[in-house]
Chain A
Amino acid sequence: MNRFALPLALFALLVVVLAISIRHSPEKGIIVSPLVGRKAPGFALPSLTDAQHMVSSGDLQGRWYLLNVWGTWCVECRAEHAMLVEVGHSGVIPIIGLDWKDEDDHALEWLAQLGNPYQAIGVDHDGRTAIDWGVYGAPETFLVNPQGVVVYKLVGPLTRESWTQDFLPRLAQPARARL
């Protein structure tokens, strides 16, 4: 094979990747997580707000919760924060924050300035937990059921639309059953 055909071969590979990505994004082209429908990965992380405690997946068993991946360096996280605060304060579901590759003092400043919607925040300095969860880029929000199974994953900022269309319907039935 002549070396001038190399770019063409690389491009062929790229086409395969792109074709698979399109097939993997049936609705609105959002990357579907392989985690959906499976057991959420376990984690145990130091808490951002309380140095004495850990935030761990074990404590969350038997409850619905949202896991929100964020960082102060992330543009869209700021955009979604107001919506998170609203959801957090509504008391419908507890939100667990995953502060991803961030500086603690920046994160604390951010919460002081913008409000804290989280019930607990785990600090993921080296990004290991985020890798376990298959985080592609902040922000991402996972909906996890009482059996610890990931029910839904949102890539990108949480908006009112996605909250009412994608999260609430999945939550409504069990939430009603609990009442």
Chain B
Amino acid sequence: MLPELGHFALILALLLAGLQAFFGIAGAHLRRDRWLAAVAPAVAGQFVMVATAIACLVSAFVTHDFSVSYVAENSNSALPLFYRVTALWGAHEGSLLLWIFLLACWTLAVAIGAARLPVRFGARVLGVLGVVSFGFLLFTLATSNPFLRLIPAAPDGRDLNPILQDPALAIHPPILYTGYVGFAVAFAFACAAMLEGRLDQAWARWTRPWTTSAWAFLTVGIALGSWWAYYELGWGGFWFWDPVENASFMPWLVGTALVHSLAVTDKRGLFKSWTLLLAILAFSLSLLGTFLVRSGVLVSVHSFAADPTRGIFILVFLIIMIGGSLALYAWRAPLLRSSAGFELGARESFLLFNNILLVIAAAIVFGGTMAPLIADSLGLPTLSVGLPYFNPTFLMPILPLLALLPVGLHAKWKRGRLAQQQRAILATLAVSLVLSLAVSFGVFAQGKILTLVGLTLGPWIILSSLVDPIDRWRRRLTVSRSILGMTIAHIGVGLFVIGITVVQSFTQEHDVALGRGERASVSGYEFRFEGVRSMEGPNYDGVRGSIVVTRGAAPLGTLYPEKRRYWVQGTVTTEAAIQMNRGTNLLIALGDDLGAGRWSVRIQVRPLISLVWLAALIMAIGGAIAGSDRRYRAAARSAAEVASGGAAAQERAG
């Protein structure tokens, strides 16, 4: 009964999304205030329906209802409760339902916040979100219904893909999707502004907190995915430029540009059309990512079952959403001229560089991801892409971006007198350079050019981001949350640069064959192999090795790398053992049984690798703090009063 109820709830949600879209957009256009009044209830109703659908599917998983085909394919009676719940988004159909649910949550939040917006504008925003939701619901119901029954019911399920039976990957999709879907809100604000034909600083102030929080979620989501890849895949990489990784990275790059461009629109009323375009692009790339992953035109480790019919549906949806919004942009953006100007050395210039370089970086990732498809459709021999393309090309826009960041942090709005800041810029640069030389040659006794560049840029960015808050503190001004958040996020960027540089320059990696009691020594750490024991988990068996680690005479503990064999699908996974020691990451993965008690063992010593993910988390925390600035709420309220007052006056005049 429950699966049918869930299916029915989804159909009702589709109808409500249609009403929300129609009343929101047409009502605002035709100025029918009674239509507008129906928008918020439609949002609330849609949320209740989608939540009901999700609850029905979760209950099917929890109660082992293998008569539901999606449950039979992605669960098993031996699967622990936690993974039975997260198996909900273990494959295509459920992931879509999760996407829709998160969109319903964001939309509800916008509807609550929209009470402070001008009525028609708020209705337009919700209307555009309704269109997005309608498309996804129709897609789910037409091609990917998770509630389909399996007759006769399966005696037991095929089990959740073992690679997904991991806490980090279990919570990775909801966080990542929250970020993706959050960009739908920025997109809706942009479309509403274009429909309205008006975009002012108040608009940027309404849009900023939503965009910044979506960006923060996306940052955490990507970092979690990379962290998972690091220890689950077991051979020490944290970024593979895989199409699915790129699909989440492109919206992040454009989203980062959008966050900065919005700051300029908010503070100075500039970059209006540019901000709109970035808002459209960030969400379009999220949608395109969905297309690439779901349609199966690109093959990847991460991709779920591919199906060309779904590809065609998504393509049509892309044409309507992206094509529609870009057409609206071509028509309306020329109306939004900015009158104010700025000087070359002003902060606006640096933010413009930031935008351009980030968009170039996104274009490079896009080009690499799409190259095979483009070559294929032109009938050319296929281009080769991969790590050898991405790593060097990506650095080209990113290095100048990182070098301009500390200078830009010293620059003032509007006026370009960098000469006043020259001493501070050079002083921070000199300190960073000394630090960089000291670390390269003092600690690691080696250094290449890129190592020195990275180790100089990192501290320079950190020191420069402290300039503004320290200056304010000395002048006894308050440090607002948006400035505090910005400072923290930029410190995160600096730490990230340091982390990546150290990891890439100073990692030691060895594959050794070890018998019981034998030792290997890497980077001053001693590893003693104590043999393997067989073991059994809830739905897998396997072996667990134990390796005692010492440094000098000091014992650092024992590491237990595992090889697991999951019963149902027969898949073997490698669970690397990881230990932190003063920021250095020791990773041990079990290779093959070489016979006679000997095993091949991969030992990696990666200094500071956890800093990479920690730094991403710090960036996200910065974003969350900046997004919660009280100024946005207060400003929204007063702007709304002014706007509604204005509208009322207009109506009286009309």
Contact = CB atoms under 8 A, between A and B. Distances in A.
Contact of A28 (B306, B387, B572): B306
A22 B312 contact: yes
A131 interface: yes
B377 A21 contact: yes
A37 interface: no
A109 B600 CA distance: 11
B55 interface: no
B311 interface: yes
Interface string A124-158: 00010011101111100000000000000001100
B233 A18 contact: no
Interface string A21-62: 110111011110110000000000000000000000000000
Contact of B323 (A8, A17, A78, A130): A8
Contacts of B319: 15
A131 B381 contact: yes
B591 A155 contact: no
- Give the 8 A-B CB pairs with smallest separation, nearest first: A29-B296, A20-B377, A5-B330, A134-B382, A8-B326, A29-B306, A156-B299, A136-B372
The size class of the interface chain B forms with chain A is 35 or more
Nearest to B570: A160
A130 B384 contact: yes
B312 A24 contact: no
B333 A4 contact: yes
Contacts of B307: 28-29
A20 B374 CA distance: 9
A37 B373 CA distance: 20
Nearest to A82: B572
14 contacts: A16-B377, A18-B297, A21-B297, A21-B377, A24-B376, A25-B297, A29-B297, A31-B299, A75-B242, A76-B301, A79-B301, A114-B592, A131-B381, A138-B386
Interface centre among A22, A71, A138 (most CB of B within 10 A): A22
A114 B591 contact: yes
A11 B381 contact: no
Contacts of A78: 235
Given A25-B296, A78-B235, A156-B299, A136 B315 contact: no
B473 interface: no
B311 A109 contact: no
A19 B386 contact: no
Interface residues of A, number: 51
Interface in B306-325: 306-308, 311-312, 315, 318-319, 322-323
A11 B379 contact: no
B511 interface: yes
B400 interface: no
Given A4-B329, A18-B297, A82-B572, 14 more contacts: A4-B273, A11-B284, A15-B319, A15-B323, A17-B373, A21-B297, A22-B295, A22-B311, A29-B296, A33-B382, A73-B387, A75-B237, A75-B242, A115-B592
A75 B240 contact: yes
B470 interface: no
Nearest to A101: B388
B513 to A, nearest CB: 8
Contact of A20 (B306, B312, B376, B572): B376
Contact of B334 (A4, A12, A18, A113): A4
Contacts of A25: 296-297, 308, 311
Contacts, number: 133
Contacts of B383: 131, 136
Contacts of A12: 323
Contacts of B379: 34
Contacts of B237: 75
Interface of A: 2, 4-5, 7-8, 11-12, 14-22, 24-26, 28-31, 33-34, 71, 73-76, 78-79, 82, 100-101, 109, 112-115, 127, 130-132, 134-138, 155-156
B240 to A, nearest CB: 5
Contacts of B333: 4
Contacts of B11: none
A59 B193 CA distance: 67
Contact of B330 (A4, A22, A74): A4
B384 A135 contact: yes
Interface centre among B306, B319, B384, B388 (most CB of A within 10 A): B384
B296 A18 contact: no
B195 interface: no
B335 to A, nearest CB: 10
B447 to A, nearest CB: 21
Nearest to A130: B384
Contacts of A7: 277, 280-281, 326, 329-330
A12 B591 CA distance: 49
B161 to A, nearest CB: 13
B373 A21 contact: yes
A47 to B, nearest CB: 21
Contacts of A21: 297, 373, 376-377
B327 interface: yes
B133 to A, nearest CB: 22
A16 to B, nearest CB: 7
Nearest to A28: B306
B637 to A, nearest CB: 33
B427 interface: no
A153 B351 CA distance: 47
B376 A127 contact: no
Interface centre among B240, B319, B376, B377 (most CB of A within 10 A): B376
A113 B592 contact: yes
Contacts of B283: none
A8 B321 CA distance: 12
Contacts of A155: 299
A18 B315 contact: yes
A137 B386 contact: yes
Interface centre among A19, A134, A137 (most CB of B within 10 A): A137
A135 B377 CA distance: 15
Nearest to A10: B326
